[in-house]
Amino acid sequence: SLHDTPVLIYNTGKPNPGKWHGSPPNFNILHPTIQQEVLDWVKELCLIGKDHPSFKGIELVITLHSMLSLGNLTTGYNDYMIAGFEHDTGIKVPVDRRAPLRGKLYAEWLLKNVKEKWIDWRCKKLGEFYCRVADLIASEKTNLKLRINTELSLPERNNPSTWSNPDIVVKNNREAGIDPKYFKDRKNIVLTLTTQPAI
């Protein structure tokens, strides 16, 4: 019953089992309801700050559990995600839409058969949303920036052998749905990286 809601479906076919830090989000940033919530928050912040000289824009701090990305490849297996992917790519996902744990079946098929296309589609859709946020900010005041600050570089904190991988940042960002090629031409979007967003 949750497959069409904003609740993010995991590769288990179920929602978040109750974790917070160290787990992907509870809600799906690609659902229209969640996107509208974020746009409303951004508009409110711009209205409050745009006339103050210290206000330079808005930063989205994206940790693994932040609902501002998809977290990683263990999430995003809602029915509307699959329908959108099929529509945009022409690739049919051969899974029974009546199966109660179809999210698990979606994940298994996608990651086995079309993993890179699935990742790229997610990045494209999230990039389109970030561009909408950037456009909203610019409509309030032309010199305002949208900073996308990711803290997804070292989710493998307990596996230091992965840290020397030169592609670790790109890999983890893309698996969360973030690829700068989908917003690189937007002059008011800045992509930054941190390992400790609380500092």
Block residue for tokens 């899974």? 95
Strands 57-62 and 189-193: unpaired
Q: Which of 199, 198, 180, 183 is nearest to 66 (CA)?
A: 198
pTM value? 0.92
What is the pLDDT tens value at each position of the chain, 199 positions in all? 889 999 999 999 999 887 777 789 999 999 999 999 999 999 999 999 989 999 999 999 998 889 999 999 999 999 999 999 999 999 999 999 999 999 999 999 999 999 999 999 999 999 999 999 999 999 998 899 999 999 875 555 556 666 677 788 889 899 999 999 999 999 999 998 886 655 4
72, 175 in Cβ contact below 8 A? Answer: yes
Q: For residue 47, what are its two tokens?
A: 């209205």
Q: For residue 101, what are its two tokens?
A: 């744990």
**From the CA atom positions of the chain, what is the Rg in Å?**
17
Block residue for tokens 């974790």? 19
